[in-house]
Amino acid sequence: MTNKDHLRILFQRSGLRLTREQTQLFWRFHSLLREKSRESDLTRIYNFENMVIKHYVDCAIVPSLVELPSELLDLGTGAGFPGIPIKIMMPQIRLTLVETRQERVEFLEEVLEELELKDVTLIKKKLSGPIGKRFEGVITRALEDITSTLRRVLEVLEPNGKVIFMKGPNCDEEIEEAKENMGAFYALYKDIHYTIPETTYRRRLLVYRKNDVPFRDLKEITSSDNKTYKLFKSLLTSKGIEKSSLFLMWGSKVVKETIQDHITHIEGVILRQGGPFPESILIDSPYFRLSKELFDQLDPFGTSYPILLLKKPKIRPFGDMPRKGPILAIPFQDPSNVGAVIRTSLAMGVRNLLLTESCASPFHPKAVRASGPCILSVELFGRPKLEELRALRLPIVGLATPPKGVDLLRFGFPEDFILLPGLEGPGLPLEMADQLISIPMEDGVESLNVGVATAIALFWWRARRDLRGPLSIPLKVGEGA
Ligand SMILES: C[S@@+](CC[C@H](N)C(=O)[O-])C[C@H]1O[C@@H](n2cnc3c(N)ncnc32)[C@H](O)[C@@H]1O
């Protein structure tokens, strides 16, 4: 028996009947691969039967298991797998082979010429983004993890386009990871486990379908001279934020929460080239994709996660302030302190916040980093001079450093009042308060950080309001938390 017949029989054993012409094409392909493998590194498999089963049959069987879209892009095709065997099995399919390595591309050029394959385009490229054309489907074998490929081909695919992965049986972790990272953009809709007939080789075909909604509006930004980019950069300063009434928000958890709870504030999503996408799709928001260098300049905290562009909520006039319950006045000049007390206030149920004239912007990156989405859930009023606080006609409880002020633990908070902490450094102008309180401390500590002191005062106010009667939860030991 000739090797050519042997090839045909091996196919037949796997359930694939080749025509004479197909047998001839596989034979020519095989001969070329054998010949060229000696010069360049095209395959690691040299045994004849293994080459037939693990390369040709492995790929040629795919069209019998799933419907393949045309036009199909084979990404990272190497020596032509699975593209060439698929083309031989489905002569009508329009195929594009993408491969980055020169010697492999040269080999493929020869294959296409020798086998006289029609409707096959060869692209020498390391695919990483749009290529000026969209495809109905992408197929890959032995390329990289699922998430990376789904991300890489997002803009190469038509809406509802398919990505077909030829995998081994153990790819559950990759599937989970892809769900987490790319679940907003794709759905896994076929997961086929099979064994190549008459062998022990287990395989798995995964078919992902791209959702048809994301990226109605995607702008690529690659130059620091771009006007929009300059606007983004200006949002790293309070002045820029004030001018445009926009601000930025960073961090995966914070971004996810903001998308979930404050969608109406979102004006856009800033992506890093090759970086992750947020999990939820924002249909009406524009996406801006920045080159890595440009993105990193907008990412002072090094999150690498998409940055949200948000509409700054209005700071209402001081005169509109409701005169009920506790009001926190914030005079801090350090934006991190401002952000931290905004978060604490909300946690303690104090929503009405009065930003005094000296207060740093609560939308400054450092403030937003500390407050997270809480900045979008509080009511902000501003910005009076300290002397003007009296106009609210509410008692002003000033937070001072001991020995000034009465002991917080002995102070009975009134129903409605303004809590006024001191400024970092100089503290509180004492004449501003009707009553000074302070947090008792051990000797040797001069003062607390103002943000921390404010948090303690707010917590104590709430504890005094809510705690009635003796403590009722006994300590249980040895049962675990
Ligand atoms: C391990 S080989 C697998 C080749 C073939 N798919 C197979 O199953 O035999 C991966 C191939 O993908 C190519 N490759 C990797 N990343 C690529 C990219 N981003 N764009 C194009 N080709 C890529 C490599 O040069 C290599 O030839």
Instruction: Sheet containing 406-407: give its strands across.
Output: 316-317, 379-382, 352-355, 326-330, 417-421, 396-400, 435-438, 406-407
Cα of 108 vs centre of ligand 1, distance in Å, is: 13
- Ligand 1 contacts (CB < 6 A) are 75-78, 81, 98-101, 104, 126-128, 141-143
Rounded Cα distance between 106 and 288, Å, is 37
Atom number, ligand 1, closest to the C-alpha of residue 80: 5
Residue 468's pLDDT is: 73
Residue 481's pLDDT is: 66
Cα of 77 vs centre of ligand 1, distance in Å, is: 5
CA atoms within 13 A on the CB side of 451: 17
- Which amino acid residue places its CA nearest to atom 11 of ligand 1? 76
- Which amino acid residue places its CA nearest to atom 7 of ligand 1? 81
The type of residue at 33 is L
Quickly count helices (H) and strands (E) in the chain. 16, 20
Cα of 127 vs centre of ligand 1, distance in Å, is: 10
Residue 231's closest CA among 255, 248, 249? 248
Residue 475's pLDDT is: 78
The residue to mutate among 37, 143, 155, having the most atoms of ligand 1 within 8 angstroms of its beta carbon, is: 143
Residue 44's pLDDT is: 84
The residue to mutate among 43, 100, 135, having the most atoms of ligand 1 within 8 angstroms of its beta carbon, is: 100
Residue 42's pLDDT is: 86
Identify the structural domains of the chain with CATH numbers, from first to last: 3-210 (3.40.50.150), 218-311 (3.30.1330.30), 316-466 (3.40.1280.10)
Give Cα 186 distance to the centre of its chain.
14
| Burial of 426: CB neighbours in 10 Å, binned 0-12, 13-18, 19+ | exposed
Residue 43's closest CA among 115, 111, 117? 111
Cα of 189 vs centre of ligand 1, distance in Å, is: 25
Residue 359's pLDDT is: 95
Residue 159's pLDDT is: 78
Cα of 81 vs centre of ligand 1, distance in Å, is: 9
- Which amino acid residue places its CA nearest to atom 23 of ligand 1? 76
Residue 367's pLDDT is: 98
Residue 143's pLDDT is: 96
Please identify every stretch of the chain with a pLDDT value under 70, giving residue numbers as ranges.
212-216, 279-284, 427, 481
- Which amino acid residue places its CA nearest to atom 20 of ligand 1? 126
- Which amino acid residue places its CA nearest to atom 26 of ligand 1? 78
Question: How far apart are the two ends of the chain, measured CA to CA in Å?
Answer: 73
The residue to mutate among 72, 77, 98, having the most atoms of ligand 1 within 8 angstroms of its beta carbon, is: 77
Residue 203's pLDDT is: 97
Residue 282's pLDDT is: 65
Atom number, ligand 1, closest to the C-alpha of residue 59: 8
Cα of 165 vs centre of ligand 1, distance in Å, is: 13
Residue ranges of the alpha helices (H) in 321-401?
A: 335-347, 365-371
Give SS3 for 457.
helix
Residue 407's pLDDT is: 95
**102-138 tens-digit pLDDT:** 999 999 999 999 999 999 999 999 998 788 899 999 9
Residue 138's pLDDT is: 98
